[in-house]
Amino acid sequence: MGVSRQQAVENRHAIVTTAERLFRERGVDAVGLTELMKTAGFTHGGFYNHFKSKDALIDAVMEKAMKDGIQGFAGLFESARSADVDPVKQFIQWYLSPDHRANIDAGCPWSGFVGDVRRLGDLAHRAYAEGLATNLERLAKVIEQTEEISEAGRSKAITLFSQMLGTLLLSRAVVEVDPLLSDEILNEGREYLVRREGLAPS
């Protein structure tokens, strides 16, 4: 008995979602198809009903991750505006928080895939770059609207996001062996950026 079209769509989504989590946790090269399909609840042979190759799966994962990341960041900015909170400050505080540091599975995809992306195929690599560009453009507009300026938002967005991502990665890199250092990196990075942006202290 075959599966319905709707069930096939749901199965494909389950594979992509599982792959994204495993890729973020362990790296793309470290995850084999047999393990992936077993974790998703399917047989190895069923993989090829949905994807021609692992590269095709990686492309789908990256497309999903970028879309989710862009929507998630947009939602954060809108939530801040609705609550009459500075969206830039809230973004910094969320991004450089212990909760986000621990949320490798579903946090910022640009930090989650930064170590793998340059080794991926062209479609996945391009999706990452285009998603990053879209995110930076959105952040630049938020900065310009918040600071009531008509230029320099892009420069600030690139600098701010780069420093946030670097701080997050360093904090994650040592959290298991030196949690105090990890917290120090996260806290100092967050407070420095809040002060530098001229925002009220946390």
Which residues are CB-contacts of 189 (< 8 A; sequence separation ≥ 6)?
A: 96, 163, 164, 167, 171
pLDDT at site 31: 96
12 and 58 housed in the same domain: no
93 and 160 housed in the same domain: yes
191 and 101 housed in the same domain: yes
4 within a domain of the structure (yes/no): yes
CATH number for position 134: 1.10.357.10
Amino acid at 130: E
CATH number for position 14: 1.10.10.60
With beta carbons less than 8 A apart as the criterion, state whether 186 and 96 touch: yes
46 and 61 housed in the same domain: no
36 and 87 housed in the same domain: no
In sequence order, what DSSP letters do the residues of 107-132 get, joined into one string? Answer: S-HHHHSTTTGGGS-HHHHHHHHHHH
Number of domains in the chain: 2
201 within a domain of the structure (yes/no): no
103 within a domain of the structure (yes/no): yes
113 within a domain of the structure (yes/no): yes
188 and 122 housed in the same domain: yes
pLDDT at site 186: 98
Q: Which two tokens stand for residue 177?
A: 């062996």
pLDDT at site 184: 98
pLDDT at site 181: 98
20 and 65 housed in the same domain: no
202 within a domain of the structure (yes/no): no
In which domain, by residue range, is 10 found?
Answer: 1-51
Task: Looking at 41-121, list the stretches that DSSP marks H as alpha helix, in order from N- to C-terminal side.
Answer: 54-82, 87-95, 98-102, 109-112
- Domain end, chosen from 12, 31, 51, is at 51
Going residue by residue through the chain (202 aa), what tens digit of pLDDT does each one get? 567 888 889 999 999 999 999 999 999 999 999 999 999 999 888 899 999 999 999 999 999 999 999 999 999 999 999 999 999 999 999 999 999 999 999 999 999 999 999 999 999 999 999 999 999 999 999 999 998 888 889 999 999 999 999 999 999 999 999 999 999 999 999 999 999 876 655 4
187 and 92 housed in the same domain: yes
84 and 122 housed in the same domain: yes
pLDDT at site 80: 94
98 within a domain of the structure (yes/no): yes
58 and 144 housed in the same domain: yes
34 and 70 housed in the same domain: no
169 and 185 housed in the same domain: yes
Query: What gap in Å lies between CA 177 and CA 201, rounded to an integer?
Result: 29
pLDDT at site 44: 85
Query: What gap in Å lies between CA 195 and CA 23, rounded to an integer?
Result: 35
pTM higher than the cut 0.95 = no
152 within a domain of the structure (yes/no): yes
